[in-house]
Every structure is written in structure tokens, then in C-alpha cells.
Amino acid sequence: MAKPPATKKIPSKNKDGSDRKSPSSIFGPHAITRYLCIPQTGNITGVELTVFLPELLRAPGVLSRFIENGADAQTLARISAWFRATVKDHHTPATAANAMRHITQATMRRYLQEEKWTETRHKAGRYKKPGQVWDHENLTFAGVQNYCEDNTKEGRHKRPPTPNVRFALLAVDVVVFPSGDDGLDLTRCVKAAAANEDLPLMFPRDYGFLTWLLDGPQLARPANQDRELFNRWRQVSWAETPSAHQANTTQQIA
């Protein structure tokens, strides 16, 4: 009896060494690993994190900062859909928001040990926890651990974090770069890294170095801060789409 034709094995690892995710993931199979070390220095806006490092929304410290300052699943899904390539299974507002809500609920329920956690109850002050309140003006993630480090229970997510990934990979599947009040230093750095892939730039290792190479940190204004930013995106209709001139572009390092 003839053997059935061999099936092509799908690689279990991405180019950055992380586990390959299911194509049905809301962020797509090429998003930077959820196990990446959280950058401890440098400003990162809510849009920049959601666009370039969306899997880090699974880190309780990251999500806590956003939820404390007005983010919700609908708004995070809207931001992701505007800037990132659309995943087939989550191309409608309802499916995208539901997928994002699954992430926010799973993350916060595990973190707070509250099975009935919801965004509404959280914003009503039902789940106060020491150290949980985030300074509205703080755009860093100083002190935040990846959830694989902060996970007290043994399981498949208990592992050493990934120290760094190639900086240019943060631009993969990004169809529109943040601009104006949505972007700060990380946007400039990702553009430069993507345009100079021959340079051995790594994230988060070289974030500070590359920021200073590009004329130093930009001044964070109130419009860059989470509360104003998420409130602005909450009002963006799903019927609106980016204009042609906002398409993904990169910049050479002089």
C-alpha cells in the first residue's frame, strides 16, 4: 500500500525565535512574541504599544496602565485594526472587539484573581489593588514584568522571557505608522530600524541608543498621554479608514 503524500510541517518558531502563533490570533502569526522582556526605559504611547507590540497587552502591568487610564477592548481593537494588517477571522468590528475582550478579561481575571472582572466594574473602582493605580503622565513601563515572569503558577506560560528581538521586526504587519499625537520615540525608532535592516539593532536593548541617535527623546505632551489618547480613539468610527499618505514608510539613518 502506497504511503500518503507527506504534509509540509509548519515551523514551530518565528524568525525571532518565539513560538509561532495560530493564524487565527487577533494580531496575526508575525506579531512580536508575548514573552518579550518589557522595556524599562523610554516613553511608549498606548498606540505604539498596541501597534508594534500588541502581544504585550497580555502582560497585566501593561494592560493595567491602559485600563486605569480609560482603555477598553473596543478602543484597543479599533487602534489595532487601523494600524495593523487585518486578520481574516477578526475583520469585523464585532469579532475584533470580542477577540480583544477575551484578552483583556483573561489577563485581568488571572492577575486580580477575580473571575467576574469586567472593564465596567474595574472603572467603577471594584478591583483596587496596591500599586495598581498608574500615573497618567507616566508613559514608560518601568517596573512592569512580562507575565511569564510574574506568573506564580506553573504552566506553559512559565518560562524565562525573551531578552531581545530584531528591532526591524516590530514593523512587520504594520500598514500605517503612528503619527501626530499617537506616536513618539518608538515610532521613529521602528521606522529607522526597518529602513536599516543590515544594522544589528535589537529591541528593547537598543531603544535608548537609537532614540538618542535620532536626536533624542521627543517631549511628551498631554495629547500623547493615555487618557487623552484613548478618549480620542474611542470616538473614531469603524467606517473611517487611513488616507493613502499615511501608508507604512521608513527612514534611512544618515
Mean pLDDT lowest among 87-96, 108-117, 163-172: 87-96
Inform me whether the pLDDT recorded for 226 exceeds 90: yes
Residue with cell 500518503: 4
Mean pLDDT of 157-168: 87
Q: Is 14 helix (H, G, I), strand (E, B) or coil?
A: coil
Report d(CA 108, CA 176) in Å as an integer.
29
Which residue is listed with cell 500598514?
A: 175
pTM of this structure: 0.84
pLDDT recorded at residue 26: 83
How far does Cα 87 stand from its chain's mean position?
15
Which domain covers residue 75, as residue numbers?
46-237
Asked if residue 144 is part of any domain, the answer here is yes
Give CA torsion, residues 210, 212, 218, 220, to 10 deg: 80
Asked whether residue 36 is domain-assigned, the answer is no
Per the domain annotation, does 107 fall within a domain? Answer: yes
Question: Taking Cα atoms as reference points, which of 172, 167, 199 lies closest to residue 186?
Answer: 167
**Dist. CA 243–CA 240, nearest whole Å:** 9
Domain count, the chain: 1
Is residue 170 included in any domain, yes or no?
A: yes
CA 78 from centroid of its chain's CA atoms:
13
For residue 222, tell me if it sits in a domain.
Answer: yes
For residue 20, being part of any structural domain is answered with no
Per residue in 102-155, pLDDT (tens digit) is 999 999 998 888 899 988 888 877 776 655 567 888 999 999 988 788 655 555
2 pLDDT exceeds 80? no
Q: How confident is the model at residue 86 (pLDDT cuts 50, 70, 90)?
A: confident
* Residue 29: band (very low, low, confident or very high) from pLDDT cuts 50, 70, 90: confident
